[in-house]
Amino acid sequence: MPSLRAEDVTRIDQALQSWRQGDVVFDDSVFFLHLADLMTPLTTEAQETAKTRLDSGEGVAVEGVASVVPGVVVVTQTCDIVRSCDVRPYVEVSPLIQVRQDFLSEVRRLQRPAFAHLPAVATQGLVADLDRTMTVEKAVVATWERTPGWNTDAESRAFAEALSRKRARFAFPNDFVAAARGLQDHIKRRHNRHNSEGAHLRSLREIRVRAAPSWDHPTVSLFLWFVKETDPLGFEPEWHAYSDKWTDRLDTTGRFTVDGAIACWLGEMTAQDYVESDRLDLDQLSSHDSHR
């Protein structure tokens, strides 16, 4: 069995010194692996593999299934990428997937925590699918051609924030998810309409909600911030009217009441308001939205 030689370590380490979190790989030889039970295949790839095994007379079992993807993005932190391969031999990658433009816009605004926006591939309609991660040895990465996924510190921070939010986002109580369903459905229906309300929804940076005295209290008072990224393009700003309209979509027949809502710029929120509130993501309200 070949052993790891000092010159191989040096070669691999040198090759990875320029790599960064968020770098992208487009290569015909790159595929994505996940483990599947072929007795109960959940994905198209697993179902196709299971059929192949059955057609050939082979047994079906737990197996690694390969998916063809447009490319992959490195999600390992930069400090670990550049550490020597004899200490940290692995790099984690997530696949790039094709999405609709409206979905891509939601990803860019961090409204879809299962995905991450990358400026370098956004023009191609691609985003990172953070629900899937594959481990690759650095010797393999050293053979790949690196494409930077971002160009500025702000873009780098935005990608790192998206990765962080995937693991650290707040878990809303189930009854609040049900109470917010009307708001979520309304946003989905109106977001892409070419009218004043659609323009206002597309101008939002995020929606934040605070629960008082706490989310697990028998009665909960809610306050919402509709945080603006811009004013609506081509329409007069009517933020007060729309923030009231959207808030009315919350079901307050249970333990939740609405104490108020406001549309504002991020700089108009106090630090206390921000840390005491939680971001309302579309993915947290529905798990059935298609991105294709």
What single DSSP character describes residue 271? H
pLDDT for the residue numbered 109: 80
Residue pLDDT, tens place only, 127-173: 999 999 999 999 999 999 999 999 898 899 889 888 987 887 788 99
Give 283's pLDDT tier (boundaries 50, 70, 90): low
Q: Is the pTM of this model over 0.85?
A: no
Residue pLDDT, tens place only, 248-265: 999 999 999 999 999 999
| Nearest alpha-carbon partner for 221 in 263, 192, 179 | 179
Q: In degrees rounded to 5, what are phi and psi of residue 286?
A: -155, 140
pLDDT for the residue numbered 1: 61
pLDDT for the residue numbered 292: 57
* Mean pLDDT computed over every residue of the chain: 90
| Nearest alpha-carbon partner for 24 in 109, 148, 201 | 148
What percent of the chain has pLDDT above 90?
Answer: 67
* pLDDT surpasses 80 at 241: yes
Distances (CA, A) of 221 to 135, 182, 251, 280: 44, 18, 12, 16
* pLDDT surpasses 80 at 3: no
* pLDDT surpasses 80 at 111: no
Where is pLDDT greater, at 101 or 28?
A: 101
pLDDT for the residue numbered 53: 86
Give the Cα separation of 8 and 155 in Å (integer): 33
103 CB-near residues (< 8 Å, 6+ apart): 112, 127, 291
Residue pLDDT, tens place only, 58-88: 777 888 899 999 999 999 999 999 999 999 9
237 CB-near residues (< 8 Å, 6+ apart): 200, 231
